[in-house]
Amino acid sequence: MPLVIPAIDIRDGRCVRLHQGSYEDETVYFDDPVKMAKLWRVQNARTLHVVDLDAARGEGENNRTVIGEMCDVLDIPIQLGGGIRSMAQIEAALDMGVYRVLLGTAAARNPDFVEEAIDAFSAQRVVVSIDARDGEVRVEGWTEGSGLDAVEFAQEMERRGVRRIVYTDISRDGTMEGPNIPAYRTLGTHLSAAKITASGGVGEYEDLLDIQTLRPYGVDSVIVGTALYENRFPCQQFWTWHNLEGVDLETFSTAMLRGELSPSEKG
């Protein structure tokens, strides 16, 4: 089974999901992304995918404080994307506790920058995010076309030292209509060294099984957002957080696993 990576997209300090990348079609799921991160950790998330939607559109880094809090309270790696377009921003994110950064617009606009970043921080800490619609790489928070073919761009990134590509089919993102399996297969066929993290469209357990068939094509993980928030998987255990202020995460996790939480705590 591919590694399932929960997604936390942050806009104006809140945990949201966009439909097909549209900032005008937004659903707010949690007002506190840090609590959301704790919830995914308690549900045994091994890593988190965090996107700063404001920074992705060049609207400042107003969410960096809350992202730093996530890094402080979690004991699992966080990968961060959105608006990271300079060496100084990469260094600041890593210093904050982020495990690795995703370069999207910066990679498309300046491929040389990707090489520079990998040389400075390693291919483990710097990965490339390819967000595509109809095979074209989109930039500036998915709002602009780049004129770049997604597969050709991925091949160039691999030649420049990239060893992990997060590929999002924007037309599927947030829809829960199923992942674009042919697109991932085509991408994997044209790559030799880089691994692929799939993103976009997962709506049920069967979709994870479909992605599992892509392992021979280098797809070893998948980012899931809306389907997790909508509780589409029977193994999920959701509860409200209004009575959990100040609760130690380790103590809470142990109590949850032992079934020691009261109904009010579980929600």
Would you say 130 and 104 are in contact if contact means Cβ atoms under 8 Å apart? yes
96 vs 67: CA distance, rounded Å: 8
144 vs 79: CA distance, rounded Å: 23
9 counts as catalytic: yes
Residue 86: which of 62, 114, 56 has the closest Cα?
114
DSSP of 119-139: HHH-TTTEEEEEEEETTEEEE
User: Who contacts 264 (Cβ-Cβ below 8 Å, separation ≥6)?
Assistant: 243
Which residue shows structure tokens 């992942």? Answer: 179
119 counts as catalytic: no
Burial of 55 (0-12, 13-18, 19+ CB in 10 A): buried
Q: Which of 52, 54, 131, 173 is catalytic?
A: 131
Which residue shows structure tokens 């060893």? Answer: 163
**Spacing of C-alpha 82 from chain mean position:** 10
Segment 231-240 long-range contacts (CB within 8 Å, at least 24 positions apart): 232/176, 232/203, 232/204, 233/204, 233/205, 234/205, 236/43, 237/43, 237/266, 238/39, 238/267, 239/265, 239/266, 239/267, 240/267
CA 42 to each of CA 14, 34, 50, 68: distance values in angstroms, whole numbers, following the listed order: 20, 12, 17, 19
Catalytic residues: 9, 131
